[in-house]
Amino acid sequence: MIGAYPTLRAGLLIAGGAPLAIGLAAFAPALWPLGPAWSGAVLLLALLDALIAGKARHVELITPASSELGSEVRILVEAELAAEVPIARAEASLAVTNRIMPGGRGFATLLRAGPEATLRGTVVLSPVRRGALEIERLWLRWQGPLGLGWRQDERESAESIAILPDIAAVRAPALQVFIKEAIYGILARQIRGEGSEFEALVEYQPGFDRRTIDWKSSARHSKLLAREYDTERNNQIVFALDSGSDMCEPVAGLPRIDRAVSAALLTSYVALKAGDQVRLFSFAARPERATPFVSGSRNFFRLQAEAAGIDYRFEESNYTLALSTLAAQLQRRSLIVVFTDFTDPTSAELMLESVGRLIDRHLLLFVAMEDEELLSIVDQPPANSEKVAQSVAAASLLAQRRLVITRLRHMGIEVIEGRHDEIGTRLMNAYLKIKRRGQL
């Protein structure tokens, strides 16, 4: 849809006709029609200026196929005009998915690129959620050479950009060095005497676990011999992500579920490098997304793409249905890593009952982020009675949370709790520890 209308400059000049007519009516009554004539002339000149600017012959949006959460999305707008007259100013506006991009709008100033009548500009967007960032509509407007009239072109768009989870930690050079040493180097030497598959008998050396000593063989050979095990590969790792209302609450500007997804992908990358199989499972009021098991680091980006589809559900999580469904889908012993939050005592009690039915067959690991908001409320100065009441309520919620964590640990389940920027590293270390001990 194409339209034309005056610019702000033209609007002020048109409005100036009113005081001009009033002044002329006071001092030269016969000349007062010059005021309306001035306004009409400026309006006509603005419309002519817009028409001279010409139509947009070709408009193109150059978008990336995907981008990661936390990174800027840069969309190039190109417009080729029919008229090669000087353009005073040109702008572009995009309407995008509101739930992914706050405000649902992006803007850019277009500049003439070279001698041809082509305008180019970059719209920079900062998504705050994962998912499909759909560009719904594009508006272009440009001024004529006098800067009095806007020419506007409105077009629909079907472009879509996949906003993927942030995996900046995976690309960190320090992690690559750590993985190389942990899985194939240093750790491989440290796991002698541990693991799950018997490899050979070796002479006992200082630093070996004494529980690996084979006393019968030692007595037969008159020297201490230890069993050496090989770490088992091809284990199954399931990352169960709670995407209910509690996990949709923001922490440091991003929803908890996004922090959890990034931590899960970091450990997934290490697990795939170590030869294990990885699967993602999300749930809220019902099971949402369940990916098949993947193996090999070459399939990591498939996991990242699947994780982008984990939605935000503002509803109470049903642990009983989710964990029973997951248990029914697993055919062998697996490591189940559950990302959730403990705020509602009733939901926590139901979760504990569901967990109790899993620990006999599977190895469970819970990951919870510290509630920085509650901690700040507890530590705030008691300036008035309202703040005291807030601190007491926050302390009560934290006490309930600690009770749930304590009960999980008494059941023999390891719980990783930490800041949002620490849980990824802590989870990775916990996985490597489980791997080294051969607990699967």
Give the pLDDT score at 180: 65
Distance CA 8, CA 172 (A): 50
Distance CA 247, CA 262 (A): 14
Two structure tokens written together for 155: 């077009």
Global pTM?
Answer: 0.75
Give the pLDDT score at 63: 93
Contact assessment for residue 83 and residue 140, using Cβ atoms and an 8 Å cutoff: no
Contact assessment for residue 323 and residue 339, using Cβ atoms and an 8 Å cutoff: no
Give the pLDDT score at 192: 44
Helix, strand, coil fractions of the chain, as percent rounded to 5? 40, 30, 30
Distance CA 169, CA 332 (A): 31
Contact assessment for residue 239 and residue 268, using Cβ atoms and an 8 Å cutoff: yes
Give the pLDDT score at 83: 80
Give the pLDDT score at 56: 86
**What stretches in the chain show pLDDT beneath 50?**
185-196
